[in-house]
Amino acid sequence: MSQSETVVNEYIIQYTSNGMPYQFKDGIVIIEGVETIEPYAFVNRDDIQHVIIGDSVKMIGEYAFYMCSSLQSVVIGNNVETIGNHAFEHCKSLQSVVIGNNVETIGNSAFTCCTSLQSVTFGPNVKTIGSSAFCYCILLQNVIIGDSVQIIADFAFCDCESLQSVTISKNIKTINSYSFSGCKSLQSVTFGPNVETIDSYAFEDCTSLQTVTIDNNIKILGKGVFHGCTSLQSVIIGPSVQYIDPDAFSGCTSLQCNY
């Protein structure tokens, strides 16, 4: 231990390159007493296994834990409002994330390529899930998107190959392009009552999807929205639909439609 280090409750107080204090012991990082975890604060650290973010923290900066290859779990405090872009990208050992009660924004690519991630618990105030936020989380199985969520950006859950079910919240009006494309294990989708538009290629190549019910408020089915869903056998389309792109169901070789 260097002379500049202090021991508190058996944790050693250390400092990032920009002087941000944190507690560290046996692979556990505890961050408390600061409002912002600075961008790139722990980038490429291979000695961190668990992160506990205290209630003083409001912002997790971009790339804060980028490529922390041994990181297994993250608990995000109840006062964090924003998880920055790429904050946990390429944390290949990350298995579980608990997102605190006040998080409103999950940034672009925040958890991209977290290839061991199996469980995400969303807090009750998440409003925006950014572009590619959980893309290539190949072990993620189930997602319940709470009623606070208003935006699922493009590519948000693309290529989550183990994802089996998705429940879309009541406040989402648009499912953006490629949001769930390449989710090859996806078997069921429950649309919230206010979804109006399913954008282009949103469910492309979801090859296990067998039935879809297009609820009464959905008005637009974009280009290739179910392209390549080769197991899709039944689509029930409600009376509110105003436009179906000619290629919306291209490559759905098992399909029967009910209008």
Same domain, 177 and 255: yes
Task: Residue 58: give its domain's CATH number.
Answer: 3.80.10.10
Instruction: With respect to residue 153, please indicate whether it lies within any of the assigned structural domains.
Output: no
Instruction: With respect to residue 111, please indicate whether it lies within any of the assigned structural domains.
Output: no
- How many domains is the chain built from? 2
**Domain stops at, among 59, 94, 125:** 125
> How far is Cα 208 from Cα 126, in angstroms, rounded to an integer?
29
Condensed to tens digits (0 to 9), the pLDDT of residues 185-220 reads 999 888 888 899 999 999 999 999 998 888 778 999
Same domain, 17 and 120: yes
Instruction: With respect to residue 133, please indicate whether it lies within any of the assigned structural domains.
Output: no
Same domain, 177 and 83: no
The residue range of the domain holding 64 is: 13-104+116-125
Same domain, 38 and 121: yes
Mean pLDDT of the 49-74 span:
96
Mean pLDDT of the 163-185 span:
92
In angstroms, how far is the first alpha carbon of the chain from the final one? 71
Mean pLDDT of the 71-85 span:
95
Same domain, 121 and 21: yes
Does 5 score more than 60 pLDDT?
no
Condensed to tens digits (0 to 9), the pLDDT of residues 99-115 reads 889 999 999 999 999 99
Q: What is the pLDDT of residue 175?
A: 92
